[in-house]
Amino acid sequence: MREGLAQMESPFTSKFGTNFAPSPKEILDIQKILLEPAKELHALDEQIAQLQARRDKLKSFIDNHRALLSPIRRVPSDILREIFVQCLPKDHLPTHNIHQAPLLLTGICRSWREVAITTPRLWNRIHIVFRYPCSPPVTDFFRSLMKANTEGLDLWLERSGTMPLTLSLNAHTPFASNETRWTVIEVDEIEALCIDFAQHLLPYAPRWARLSMSASARVMDFLKALPEELELTSLKEFKPQRRGSVNWAALDVVFRRSPSLHSVQLDKAYLDKLPIRWGNLTEVVLSGPLGDDLLPHHAMRVLSLSCSSIRRCTLYIQSVHETSVSSIEPPVVLPFLHALKVHFRYNRFHRVEFEAITLGFQHLLDAITAPMLKSLYITSPYSHPPDNFFERISLLSFLDRSGRALSSLTLDLPVKVADLIAVLQLAPSLAELNLRNVGMEANASYSEFFEALTPTSTNPDILCPRLESLTYTEGDTASSSPASLIALAEARSCVEPRYPGVQKLKWMSVALREFVVDPEIPAKLRGLREQGMMVQWRSPPDLRNRLSESDWRDLDTCESRSFNTLFFNAHFY
């Protein structure tokens, strides 16, 4: 066959690649020439197919045997269970999603499925969402879907064995109106289906450990079906979120029967109407729907009632009108409070809000003393307050009383450079610092601030010597200081004997609002990572390469556009 290939000759070789059109006689000659090569090609194809089949069979034989040697096959079941547990989502509760653990783990192979469904720790946490049809009517398909979802919920919870349960239920139903096109009869049926679905949680009530609920008042009725003699002794955390009217009877059942409850989410409306065991509470989240006042004196009432036990507190303060804010008497000492988060919110953007929120800050911080405070988080709803905003909110005096043991500080509010330095001088034990949108002065450079954190031969007594984690998100009015940030990171990338007491910076996250022109930045960041520092650096793209000569005069306008818009195409180093 190889000889045949070598002896192939054709009188038409010179015609290859041309527009030559053969005559009828030449067509017959070409067809005659191709007879033997076509047979030879067919024989080669058959040989290739046979060889390919042999190869496939041999490869399958080898692969199947090599699969038996896979290390994962020799992992003991108890270790495999631990691996599966680590596959669960860390930032949210598992859901009924076949593309995420734990359901994903049941579809890999039979042995993994057996391990997964017999591991209760994979099934004792779930976020449940009740979804009603987008538009009327209620169909047989939806009814059958609800039946399937109910059976799936039962199966999930049965697999949890005797483990304490963490449950989150989001169950809202439509409103009957001309706009929604839902009728009262249809809404009643949907609510009945939802209540029936939620009632399948009741047999597991003795194992409820953490329960979060966002549901309409009618749906909350299912809680009233709890057996009268049942005490929810395992329930440690209950977070009901109000949407519209409140089902007081249902909430009363839970609060009255939960002697071990220590973590709650409250609305100001709950304070007088529920049997809350204040002395048991170690964690409180105080919030409310937008549109309602939730004032410092509401927060102080909660703190006063739970002052002997509270350790973690999150407050969503909301001042709708300037006249809503009043001074707080008397102040309260919270001897065991370790973590405090204060979020100030507003509904309508007008000047009265500035004064109301400023007074809210001031009155709240003036009234609290927390000598054991370890973590403080404060956020403000606006980035361009009056010049005397920081002086009036009493943060410095609060830290003077409560900041000596502070190890974590998050500020998401406008602060001048000098004020920020003054804040950190009152928190010498700080290990984690998160600054978000702190710029207040127009075009203010934060180089001075970063230099105060940087140990040098001329500045050995720096701010925050124990700092290990720094997050900096540049505000709208601050200017970039990449050089000083890099200098700070390099100076604290390792422990220097000449700077005793200065800890190594382990984590730095930076988000700048202008592109960085220094070409050495990426190399320096790689050097920091090689020394073991976790570094995240983000800045908008270099717009100069995208602009024509005539567009350069508009560059300032382009750079001043929405910071968030630029971040969609940001550079990550």
Domain boundaries in the chain? Answer: 29-69, 123-261, 269-406, 441-573
From CA 344, how far away is CA 346, in angstroms rounded?
7
Cβ atoms of 303 and 342 within 8 Å: the answer is no
Angle between helix 184-198 and 140-158 (nearest 10): 20
Q: Which two tokens stand for residue 121?
A: 């720790």
Report pLDDT for 15.
86
3-state secondary structure 219-268: HHHHHHHCCCCCCCCCCCEEEEECCCCCCHHHHHHHHHCCCCCCEEEECH
Q: Is 133 exposed, middle or buried (0-12, 13-18, 19+ CB in 10 A)?
A: middle
What type of residue is 64? N
- Taking the C-alpha atoms of residue 335 and residue 282, their distance in angstroms, rounded to an integer, is 12
For residue 172, give Cα distances in angstroms to 290, 292, 471.
18, 21, 38
Give pLDDT tens digits along the chain (573 positions): 445 554 578 888 888 889 999 999 999 989 999 999 999 999 999 999 999 999 999 999 999 999 899 898 899 999 999 999 999 999 999 999 999 999 999 999 999 999 999 999 999 999 999 988 888 999 999 999 999 999 999 999 999 999 999 999 999 888 888 778 899 999 999 999 999 999 999 999 999 999 999 998 999 999 999 999 999 999 999 999 877 788 999 999 999 999 999 999 988 878 888 999 999 999 999 987 655 667 788 888 899 999 999 999 999 887 655 444 455 557 899 999 999 999 887 655 444 456 667 777 788 888 999 999 999 999 887 666 666 677 777 889 999 999 999 999 999 988 888 888 999 999 999 999 999 887 656 556 778 889 999 998 887 788 999 999 999 988 765 666 788 999 999 999 987 777 888 999 999 999 887 777 778 888 999 999 999 999 999 887 765 555 554 444 444 444 433 334 333 344 555
Distance CA 135, CA 39 (A): 67
CB neighbour list of residue 55: distance below 8 Å, 6 or more residues apart: none
Give the closest residue to 259 by CA, choosing from 284, 230, 285: 230
Integer Cα distance of 26 and 402 in angstroms:
103
Tokens read off for 195: 């209540």
Name the one residue in this structure whose structure tokens are 């969503």. 316
Query: Is 546 exposed, middle or buried (CB count within 10 Å of its CB: 0-12, 13-18, 19+)?
Result: exposed
Is the pTM here over 0.85, yes or no?
Answer: no
Q: Which two tokens stand for residue 344?
A: 């100030």
Q: How far apart are CA 205 and CA 309, in angstroms?
A: 26
* Residue that has been written with the tokens 């987008």 in this structure: 134
Could you tell me how many residues make up the chain? 573
Could you tell me the CA-to-CA distances from 178 to 183, 194, 381 in Å, in that order?
8, 22, 36
Q: What is the pLDDT of residue 304?
A: 92
The dihedral of CA 499, 505, 510, 515: what is its sign? positive
How far apart CA 409 and CA 415 sit, in angstroms, is 14
pLDDT of residue 178: 78
Contact (Cβ atoms closer than 8 angstroms) between residue 358 and residue 331: no
